[in-house]
Amino acid sequence: MKKPFSLEMLSAGVALALTGAWLAAAHAQQPVVQGPESVDDWWQTGQAFIRQSEKIAPVIRRAKNVILFVGDGMGISTVTAARIFEGQMRGKPGEENSLFFETLPYVALSKTYSWDQQTPDSAPTMTAMVTGYKAREGMLSVDHTTQRYECDSSQIAAKALPTILEEAAAAGKYTGIVTTARLTHATPAANYAHTAVRDWESDNEIRNHETAKGLAVDSCTVKDIARQLIELPPAVKDSLKVAMGGGRSYFLPDTTIDPEDGGTNKGRRKDGRDLTAEWMTTRGANAKFVYDKAGFDAADPGSTTHLLGLFERSHMEYEADRTKDKGGEPSLTEMTEKAIELLSKNRRGFYLHVESGRIDHAHHAGNPYRALTDTIEYANAIRKAYEMTDPKDTLIIVTADHSHVFTIAGYPHRGNPILGKVAEVPDQDGDPAGLAKDLLGLPYTTLGYANGPGYTGVSYDSKGAVLQAEGIKKNPHIPARYDNGAKRPDLADIDTTAESFMPEATVPLGSETHAGEDVAIFASGPKAYLVRGVMEQNWIYHVMREAFGF
C-alpha cells in the first residue's frame, strides 16, 4: 500500500534508516523516496487527460485579440526546472507540477536558427516571430539583405518588414508592449522598430558608432530605437496604448537627473530630447508617463489613453529582487493585468506582446535561481492574461526566442531539491537517499551549464595574481584568465540552493551562452490548433496573422 508523500515522512525515513538497526531488514522497508501517487493515480490521470483532450474543440473563428508571450532564453530545460522549483516551493516533490502555460492545449517545437546563425540572439528570433521572416544576427524587423551597420534611414525603410503590431494597428486594434527588460531591448523593440543594429537604443549609441567608424557626425540618419517608439507612424502611434518596461535612461537627455535614482545618474541621450515628455505631448491630454510603483498604481486604465512606464534606468529588477527596488516596481503580472485592462477598452480587439526579459540575463550570469524565479513569475503573468480574456476570442501564444546551455543532469530522486546536489534513489528500500558521487568521489549539482563563468579552473587577474582558486567560483568574479585545469570542487559543505550560487561550467566563458536546440510553443484560443509539430520560428507570425485574418 502506498502512502501519500510528505517531506516529513522523507526525513523521518532517513532518520530511521540511519539508526542502522533497520538496515538488516532493508528488503522489507518502505522506500524512503516515494512519490505521492497511488498506483491507480497513474491510470486515472492518464484517462483524465484523454477525456479532457477529446473535449478540446479547435477554435476556428478569427481572434479578436492576440497575446504573444516570450520568455527570453527560456529553453525547455528552464521550463522543466522552473516547474519543479514552483512545485517544491509549494511543498510538493515538484516534478508532477505544471507551470500554468504548460496546461494550454496546443504545443509545438520552434526551430530558432536565424538566416545567418545556427544559435541565434534575440533580434532575428523576435523579428521572425513578429514579421514572418527569418533575419540576420542583431537586426530588428529588416530583411536579411540588409547590410551590417546600415545606418541610412532610406535603406532601412526599403528593407523594413511590417510587424504584426503595425498590422494590428492598421486594422484599428489597440496594441501594447510589456517587458521586464528595457523597452528598447531587442525582443520588445522588434515589434515597433526597424534597425540593422539592436544596440542602437538611443542616439548616443549611433553617435558613438559614427565616431568609431570615422563617419561624419549625424551622417547616420536612421533613428535610434527609443526615438522610433515615440515617433511611430500615425496609426501605430495612436494604437500603441501601453508600453511598459525598463530603459528610462535611453529616453532622457544626458543633462537630466534620473527621477528615481537621482545622484549623478542621468539620461544618456545626446540630442537633448526628453522622450518621456514627448510621449505626453504627442499622445493627447490623457497620456501618462510613470516611473515607479506609486505612479503605476495611480495610473487608471479607464481614464489613461496612452501609458508609458519606464521603471528602471536600464532593465527592471529580477523578480527575486523586485521588492528591494528603490522606487518600487510592478511585477510582470501586474503590468500584464494593467495592459489588458487598458487594451480591452477597444471593441475591435488588441495585440499585446509580453516579455519576461531577464531569464536570459540570469542564465548568462550563471544564476539558475533568478532564471527560475523569473520563469515562475512569467507563468503567473500568463495565468492572469488567460483569466482576463476569453479563450474563444483571444489567441495566447507562449514561447521563447532561444534556449540556453542549461542542463538538468544525473539521476536525482523524486523531490530532490532542484537547486541541490544529486541524491539518487537508494538501491535498497529503507536506505536513505545518499548524495551521488562522480568518479572522483565528489557530489555534483543537478543544474549546470555547458559554458560560462562557472568554469572551475584557477582564475587570475591580468597581472597573474590568483583571483579564485580551483573550484566553485563565487560571484562577483571578473577574472582576466583561467588555467586550463578545471578541477572538480567538493560541494559537500556548499549550499547550492543559495540565491547567488553559480553551478559549474565546462567551458570557461565570461558569459554563459544561448543554445541552439528548439524551444517550445504553447497556445490556446482561435487558430491555436495551427501550432503543431516542429515549426520554423517565423511561422508563429503566420499563425497570429491567420488568427487575426489579415
Partner 1 sequence: MHSFVAAVLLSLAFAPYANARPENSPASQPPGETIATASVAAHFEASTQIGGKRGSDKTDWYFLRQANRIETIRPNGGIAEIWIRDERGDLTLKRIFHPDRRVVEYTTGDLRAMGATAPWTALGSIIDPLTLAQQFKRLGTVKIPHGIATIYKDTRKGQSIEIWWLDQVALPARIIHESDGKSFSLTLKSLHAAPPPSWPFVDDAALASYLVIDAADLGDRHGDPFVRKVEQLDAETHAFDHAASAHSH
Residue where the block lists cell 543559495: 498
Q: Could you give phi then psi for residue 208, rounded to 5 degrees?
A: -65, -40
Residue 257: other Cβ atoms inside 10 A: 12
Query: With CB under 8 A as the contact rule, which of the stretches 237-245, 414-422, 423-431, 490-498 interacts with partner 1?
Result: 490-498
- Cβ 315 to partner 1 shortest distance, Å: 6
Please list every residue from 137 through 196 that binds partner 1, using CB under 8 A.
Answer: 137-138, 186
Pick the closer one to partner 1 by CB: 422 or 509. Answer: 509
- Contacts with Zn ion by CB under 5 A: the residue count is 1
- Cβ 30 to partner 1 shortest distance, Å: 34
Q: Is 348 in the site for partner 1 (CB under 8 A)?
A: no
Residue 143: other Cβ atoms inside 10 A: 18
Q: Residue 474 binds what, of Zn ion, partner 1, none (CB under 5 to 8 Å, by partner type)?
A: partner 1
Q: Is 537 in the site for partner 1 (CB under 8 A)?
A: no
Query: Binder to partner 1 among 213, 326, 345, 392 (CB under 8 A)?
Result: 326
Q: What share of the chain is helix, strand, coil (3-state, %, to 5)?
A: 35, 20, 50
Residue 30: DSSP 8-state: P
Q: Is 512 in the site for Zn ion (CB under 5 A)?
A: no
* Catalytically annotated residue among 114, 122, 202, 239: 122
Name the grid cell of 420: 541541490
Amino acid at position 462, single letter: S
Pairwise CA distance, residues 41 & 30, whole Å: 19
Query: Binder to partner 1 among 92, 159, 268, 353 (CB under 8 A)?
Result: 268
Q: Is 122 a catalytic residue?
A: yes
Query: With CB under 8 A as the contact rule, which of the stretches 6-14, 201-209, 303-311, 376-384 interacts with partner 1?
Result: 201-209
Q: Is 401 in the site for Zn ion (CB under 5 A)?
A: no
Please list every residue from 237 through 256 that binds partner 1, using CB under 8 A.
Answer: 254
- Cβ 464 to partner 1 shortest distance, Å: 6
**Secondary structure class of 175 (helix, strand, coil):** strand
Q: Is 12 in the site for partner 1 (CB under 8 A)?
A: no
Measured N-to-C along each axis, helices 332-343 and 368-388 cross at an angle, to the nearest 10 degrees, of 30
Site string for Zn ion, 339-378 (x = CB under 5 A): ---------------------x------------------
Q: Is 167 in the site for Zn ion (CB under 5 A)?
A: no
Pairwise CA distance, residues 466 & 28, whole Å: 54
Contact indicator for 206, 224 with CB cutoff of 8 Å: yes
Q: Residue 361 binds what, of partner 1, Zn ion, none (CB under 5 to 8 Å, by partner type)?
A: partner 1
Paired with 455 in beta bridges are: 505
Pairwise CA distance, residues 181 & 177, whole Å: 11
Query: Binder to partner 1 among 437, 461, 495, 550 (CB under 8 A)?
Result: 461
Residue 432: other Cβ atoms inside 10 A: 16
Query: With CB under 8 A as the contact rule, which of the stretches 160-168, 218-226, 263-271, 540-548 interacts with partner 1?
Result: 263-271
Q: Please give the radius of gyration of the chain, using alpha carbons only, rounded to the nearest integer.
A: 25
Residue 344: DSSP 8-state: T
Pick the closer one to partner 1 by CB: 487 or 545. Answer: 487
Q: Is 314 in the site for partner 1 (CB under 8 A)?
A: yes
Q: Quick one: which of 264, 278, 343 has its CA closest to 310?
A: 278
Pick the closer one to Zn ion by CB: 121 or 329. Answer: 121
- Contacts with partner 1 by CB under 8 A: the residue count is 66
Q: Residue 392 binds what, of Zn ion, partner 1, none (CB under 5 to 8 Å, by partner type)?
A: none
**Secondary structure class of 28 (helix, strand, coil):** helix
Measured N-to-C along each axis, helices 76-89 and 368-388 cross at an angle, to the nearest 10 degrees, of 80
Pairwise CA distance, residues 94 & 43, whole Å: 20
Contact indicator for 404, 515 with CB cutoff of 8 Å: yes
Contacts of 472 (CB under 8 A, 6+ apart): 454, 456, 489, 491, 494, 502, 504
Active site residues: 122
Residues that bind partner 1 (CB under 8 A): 121-122, 137-138, 186, 199, 204-205, 208, 254, 261-264, 266, 268, 312-315, 317-318, 320-321, 324-326, 358, 360-365, 367, 370, 460-469, 471, 474-481, 490, 492-493, 498-500, 509-513
